[in-house]
Structure formats: C-alpha cells, structure tokens
Amino acid sequence: MSSKIIINKKISSFKKKIYVSGDKSISIRCILLASQAIGKSKIFNLLESEDVMNALYCIKKFGINYKKHKNYYEISGLGLRGYNTNKPIVINAGNSGTLARLIMGLLVDCKDKIVIVGDSSLSKRDFSRVANPLRLFGANIALKNNKMPVTIQGSNFLRPINY
C-alpha cells in the first residue's frame, strides 16, 4: 500500500461556510489558513482570547490585513507565499504553542529572517521536534538549547523529505 498522495486536479474556488465552535486551537488554525488564501475570508465565532489575538497580530506583521466586523473577522489573505516581509521581524506567540509551532511551518519558505518569541512559559518548551523536520526541508533554524527564541530563515528551494 502506497503512503503517497498525489493531487493532480486543482479545485475550483471554495465558497462554502464551515461552522465550528469558538475554540482557541481552531480559531488560531482558521486565522492561519485564511492568511494563506488568496482574497478575503470571513471567520465567524472567533474566540477572542489572548492567544488568538496574538495570531492576528502575527499575521499583521507580515502585511496580512484583518478587520473586525460586528460578528465576524475578515482576513485578506496573500496566498501561500504571503509570509515574506523583505525585512527581518520579531513575532510574539505569547503563550500559544499551537501558534508558535504552526507559524514555524508556514515560514519554511520565507526568505526573511524571522524571530519567534513567547512568554516565559512558552520559552521553556522544547521546539526541536518541530525544528528538525523543517531543517530537512531546507530551512535554517536556530534555537537556544532547543527552546525559544526561534530564529528561522526559510529556503526558496525546499526539498521533499521522508520523516
């Protein structure tokens, strides 16, 4: 049985509504997914916790705009290559391991040097489990004793990996 997935057909535009609970982890994932879409995405029932707001602040640093409306957030995504800034920046993941780990994956092809910091609790967590496979893809990642701050500079020439 093959473990490979081959996608050979591009889907047409996705104009559907997905209803999910106002959960922190799901809210962060929705923000990051919407930031990679081309055009505007509306997210209803977004949990407005500190960690979720940090996700919004992080995408804003990359020039990805968002706007709060009465009962939803609108995110203007820049596509899969939208995480380039043409300058080094520092982003703060606060206390969110979900945000820190997922954004590391999004930055694997970002040519700019990005530093990810977090609060004192997040700074004690091990990030080598995320950094090691991303290095195999070609990203340059520096950790301080396998912990934050994480400095990541992606590659324009990502390699496929088996992990």
Beta-carbon contacts of residue 56 (< 8 Å; ≥ 6 apart): 31, 66, 73
Position 158 in a domain: no
Rounded to the nearest 10°, the torsion over CA 106, 109, 115, 121 is 30
Q: Domain check: are 98 and 146 in the same one?
A: yes
Note the pLDDT of residue 155. 86
Q: Which tokens in the block code for residue 54?
A: 């940090």
* 3-state secondary structure at position 54: helix
Q: Domain check: are 103 and 146 in the same one?
A: yes
Q: Domain check: are 102 and 73 in the same one?
A: no
> Which of the two residues, 65 and 18, has the higher pLDDT score?
65
Position 148 in a domain: yes
Position 142 in a domain: yes
110-129: pLDDT as tens digits: 889 999 999 999 999 999 99
Position 129 in a domain: yes
Position 40 in a domain: yes
User: Residue 31: beta bridge partners?
Assistant: none
Asked if 109 contacts 102 with a C-beta cutoff of 8 angstroms, the reply is no
For residue 158, name the pLDDT band (cuts at 50, 70, 90).
confident
Structural domain boundaries, residue 51 = 24-78
Note the pLDDT of residue 15. 73
Q: What is the mean pLDDT of residues 76-81?
A: 90
Q: Domain check: are 95 and 128 in the same one?
A: yes
Find the angle CA(106)-CA(29)-CA(36) to the nearest 5 degrees: 45
Q: Domain check: are 58 and 104 in the same one?
A: no
- The proportion of the chain whose per-residue pLDDT surpasses 90, expressed as a percent, equals 72
Q: Which tokens in the block code for residue 75?
A: 């995110």
Note the pLDDT of residue 126. 97
Number of domains in the chain: 2
Note the pLDDT of residue 10. 66
Q: Domain check: are 70 and 111 in the same one?
A: no
